[in-house]
Each structure stands twice: as structure tokens, then as C-alpha cells.
Amino acid sequence: MTYRIAVIPGDGTGPEVVAEGIKVLNAVAGPANLAFDFVYYDLGGERYLKTGEILPDSVISELKQFKAVYLGAIGHPDVKPGILEKGLLLRLRFELDQYINLRPVILYPGVETPLKDKGPDDIDFVVVRENTEGLYAGAGGFLKYGTPDEVAVQSSINTRKGVDRCLKYAFETAMKRDRGKKLTLVAKTNVLTYASDLWFRAFEAMAPQYPDVTTDYAHVDATCMWFVKNPEWFDVVVTDNMFGDIITDLGAIIQGGMGVAAGGNINPEGVSMFEPIGGSAPKYTGQKKVNPIAAIAAAQMMLEHLGEAKAAAAIEAGIKKTATQLQSMAAGRMGYDTTQVGDMVAKYAAEALR
């Protein structure tokens, strides 16, 4: 089987970590009887600064023809905040209708967590973040811009269809997992009496279709506390776009930091896109200091999504074995450089398939 994959290395350290992910994919390809045809797209801050182009429509149509998209990072210090984020990353998520942002929070053995007395058995959950609506939909505007009477409105868009398809994916994710089959809805029903109310009613309405799944509800503020105090309570968490963005940074830090956290922008019926969630880390660009494990874990998620469970499991084994050998997951403190860490995962992943 040959998979055509679009690769967007992007900005900052994106290209460095993507190179390691590709290395690992190529290392498992032979032993797993797969082949990859990688097609690179030059998108990001540099291209925007040079040509003014962010994401040509023709590229969007081309991306729709791939099996998946593999993304490094978007964000450039010389570009005003919002331009690349909205014009490139969010536009890709929206145009490809990747309505799920799937973000596993797994503490690998040997990785240090800032949480006292918590280990890999306690930190193993997944956040299902809605990825096309909410505050990210871009609904709003200014009145009397720049004057003392200025008004800014930013509305959260929550459609019943959008909420239902996200909840369905979350229930099905809970069914597939082997950790108690518990699904926690995270919202803010005590204040967001319209948006969170819709989520809550839709959640209650869907639950009877999944009698094997235990349902729970937590306010988003309390969730931040429980992630730290009792992460073992969570199995699958489902939430809206903004809350999901915030709580997954917290999730990333309890699993060892941005160097480990990966995510998938999933369109179950279309083209999905996989990325490390840490951003472009511009101050480390070109220094081979950042941890490629997040990008490699994103490649693993891509293989899982493509149905290549064996190859994906081999990458996971490679990551776990490598993680125990690093001094730290943090940039510049791994005890190895970016390339060496990629080499280690590639070697161990290939060995796992022998």
C-alpha cells in the first residue's frame, strides 16, 4: 500500500521536527510493507513575507486529494498574530472540515511530569476538542473601532449538527478505549446558559445510544483543577473549541511538555491533518534543540488513522524506549539533539517490527 501524504513543514522548528517524523515513517515503511509518497508544500510565514501568499485556493483543492496531511508548525515572529493562524492553520482545519481535534494526554514511562505522585497509570486520557465552531468560527466585529466608545463582539457559534457530530466521535472513542469507558463533557453550564446548555442537552440525548459508556460532566474551571489533582479520573473528555484549546495546553504539560504532545485534526469522512501541538518555537530555529517526539507521535497518530495499527504500535514502542533514555523532554535538555532523538526512535521502531 502506498500512501500519498502532503507535508507542510511550516515555520520555525517545524521543518526540523517534521524531518524526524518522516525519518521514522520511512524506517517503519519497509518492515511494515508500506510505502509513502510525500509531497511537500511550502506554506508559512517565510512564504507570506516573500510573496504575500498564505494559502492559495489551488493548494486547498490539491490537499483534498491526499490520504492525510502532516504539519510541522505555523507561526512567525515577524508576522502579526492572527494572520497565519487564521489564514493558514484554522483555514486548513475549516476547509478540510476537520471537525475533531483529537489530543491524547499520555505520560510515557520515564518521562517527568510536574504532578507530584502521578505516573503513567494515572495520566492516560484523550481530549476530543470540537475544531470548526465555537469562538473560532470568527463571528463578530467591531463598532466605533479605535475610539473610546469602541465595542468588540466575538460570538461562540454552536450548531446542533456540529455538536452532535463531535459528541458522536467522542462516544465512539470512549467505546474503543480500554480504560473504563468514561466520557466527560467539559463546559460551563452555570454561566454559558445558551452554548453550554446546548452541549449538555445534546450530550444527555445521545448517551442512551451508548449504554456501555459512563457519562460525567465537569465545568471547565474545575477541569483545570482535576487535571492536576486527579488526572486518573479522565478517560475521554469532550469539549468545545476554545475550552479544548486551553485544557490541552494543561494536558500537554502534565504529560511532560510541548515536546511530547501530538494531535490530529480529524475529518472522519475526509482528509485529516496531524501535528505536534507545540508551535513553531522560533527562538530555537535551526539549533536542533527541540524535541521531535511530539511530531513523531503525530506521525504515529496518522498511521493509526490510516488503519496501519502495527506500524503505529511500532512507532509508539520506539517513542517509549527513546523517552526512557532522554534526560528531559525539554528543548536543549534532552542530552541529545533533535536528529539523534529521531535516529533513536527510528531504530527502535524498526526493531519492534522485526
CA separation for the pair 55, 91 (Å, rounded): 8
Least Cβ distance, residue 216 to ligand IPM (angstroms): 24
Q: 285-322 burial by CB neighbour count: b if 16+ within 10 A, else e?
A: beebbbbbbbbbbbbbbbbbbbebeebbbbbbbbbbbb
For residue 82, the 8-state DSSP code is: T
Distance of CA 319 to the CA centre of its chain: 17
Specify the DSSP element, H or E, that contains 25. Answer: helix 14-29
43, HSE (Cβ side, Cα atoms, 13 Å):
28
Least Cβ distance, residue 258 to ligand IPM (angstroms): 10
Q: Is 179 helix (H, G, I), strand (E, B) or coil?
A: coil
Give how far Cα 152 sits from Cα of 40, 139, 147, 157, 229, Å: 39, 11, 11, 16, 36
Least Cβ distance, residue 237 to Mn ion (angstroms): 15
Whether the Cβ atoms of residue 128 and residue 169 lie closer than 8 Å to each other: yes
Residue count, binding to ligand IPM (CB under 6 A): 5
* Residues 117-176 close enough to bind ligand IPM by CB under 6 A: none
**245 classed as catalytic:** yes
First to last CA, the chain: 19
Using the rule CB under 6 A, which residue among 245, 304, 308, 316 binds ligand IPM?
Answer: 245
Q: In the complex, which residue's CB is closest to ligand IPM?
A: 85
Cell 495499527, located at residue: 309
Q: Which of 145, 161, 249, 283 is catalytic?
A: 249
Judged by beta carbon, residue 235 or residue 245, the one nearer Mn ion is: 245
Judged by beta carbon, residue 162 or residue 251, the one nearer Mn ion is: 251
CA separation for the pair 244, 251 (Å, rounded): 10
90, interface contact from ligand IPM, Mn ion, none, CB < 5-8 Å by kind: ligand IPM
Q: Which of 37, 42, 216, 221 is catalytic?
A: 221
Q: Does 311 bind ligand IPM (CB under 6 A)?
A: no
* Residues 68-107 close enough to bind ligand IPM by CB under 6 A: 85, 89-90
89, interface contact from ligand IPM, Mn ion, none, CB < 5-8 Å by kind: ligand IPM
For residue 210, the 8-state DSSP code is: -
Q: Which of 136, 169, 210, 348 is catalytic?
A: 136
Tell me which residue of 217, 276, 214, 284 sits closest to 248, measured CA to CA.
276
Tell me which residue of 308, 292, 318, 295 sits closest to 3, measured CA to CA.
308
Q: In the complex, which residue's CB is closest to Mn ion?
A: 245
**221 classed as catalytic:** yes
Judged by beta carbon, residue 240 or residue 245, the one nearer Mn ion is: 245
Least Cβ distance, residue 324 to Mn ion (angstroms): 28
Using the rule CB under 6 A, which residue among 34, 277, 326, 334 binds ligand IPM?
Answer: 277
Q: Does 245 bind Mn ion (CB under 5 A)?
A: yes
Please state whether beta strands 262-266 and 100-106 pair in parallel, antiparallel, or not at all (unpaired).
Answer: antiparallel
Q: Which stretch binds Mn ion (CB under 5 A): 47-55, 181-189, 209-217, 243-251?
A: 243-251
Judged by beta carbon, residue 130 or residue 245, the one nearer Mn ion is: 245
Whether the Cβ atoms of residue 74 and residue 105 lie closer than 8 Å to each other: no
Q: Which of 181, 188, 320, 321 is catalytic?
A: 188
103, three cell numbers: 489530543
**57 classed as catalytic:** no
Least Cβ distance, residue 41 to ligand IPM (angstroms): 18
Least Cβ distance, residue 262 to ligand IPM (angstroms): 11
> Tell me, what amino acid is at 212?
D
343, interface contact from Mn ion, ligand IPM, none, CB < 5-8 Å by kind: none
Active site residues: 136, 188, 221, 245, 249
Interface ranges with Mn ion (CB under 5 A):
245
Interface ranges with ligand IPM (CB under 6 A):
85, 89-90, 245, 277
